A and B are shown apart, each in its own frame.
Chain A
Amino acid sequence: AQKVTQAQTEISVVEKEDVTLDCVYETRDTTYYLFWYKQPPSGELVFLIRRNSFDEQNEISGRYSWNFQKSTSSFNFTITASQVVDSAVYFCALSGTGGFKTIFGAGTRLFVKA
């Protein structure tokens, strides 16, 4: 069975601190896809990144970076120099091949204080 675990329920940081959101997944598929979404207070989920299981290169996009490690089944997300606008719930998600079902983690609520 597929599973996504985001062990951090809530994280609170002060602006300009770096913060890492953890994501651990379980799957038996050899080909799968991992995602991160941001849910701001307005409610809609905003897509941040997709990574397939064959691409373990780390990704950096501005202040955001992602560390994918198949050896530990983790896909962690780091925000560098956090800002108040980063306050949101962040979801990690997993999708296997041949199906429509994307499994979401429970989410991590990030508070960034000024």
Chain B
Amino acid sequence: SQTIHQWPATLVQPVGSPLSLECTVEGTSNPNLYWYRQAAGRGLQLLFYSVGIGQISSEVPQNLSASRPQDRQFILSSKKLLLSDSGFYLCAWSVLPGNTEAFFGQGTRLTVV
């Protein structure tokens, strides 16, 4: 069966520090991968998606970047965190893009102080 791992679960980082969140998927090949951010009281905002190794699409301009160095690994990064980067970050995967259900990791609660 397929599983998705995301870590760390919580993170407190100072403003201006770098960020690296990692997500890996097991039990499937060539998944579509996604990074979402969930702000308090709001829905999920798609940040990045990837259809293959090295292929990253960004949905919104921001202080973050994503990379996919391996088929089942998806990394969210920042060189210098801003206070506004605080939030709940969720990694997800799907078999097909958009019109099939997505499977989510347990999320990372990021607090920038």
Chain A's nearest CB lies how many Å from the CB of B16? Answer: 27
List chain B residues, Cβ under 8 A from A50.
Answer: 100-101
- Closest residue of chain B to A101 (Cβ to Cβ) is B46
Interface size for A (C-beta < 8 A) is 28
In the assembled complex, A44 has its CB within 8 A of some CB on chain B: yes
Instruction: List the B side residues contacting A32 at CB < 8 Å.
Output: 99
A100-B32, A104-B44, A106-B42 as given contacts; A47 in contact with B101, CB under 8 Å: yes
Q: List 21 A-B contacts (CB under 8 A).
A: A33-B98, A35-B101, A43-B88, A43-B90, A43-B106, A43-B107, A43-B109, A45-B90, A45-B92, A47-B101, A47-B102, A52-B99, A91-B44, A95-B98, A97-B98, A99-B98, A100-B49, A100-B51, A101-B59, A101-B98, A102-B102
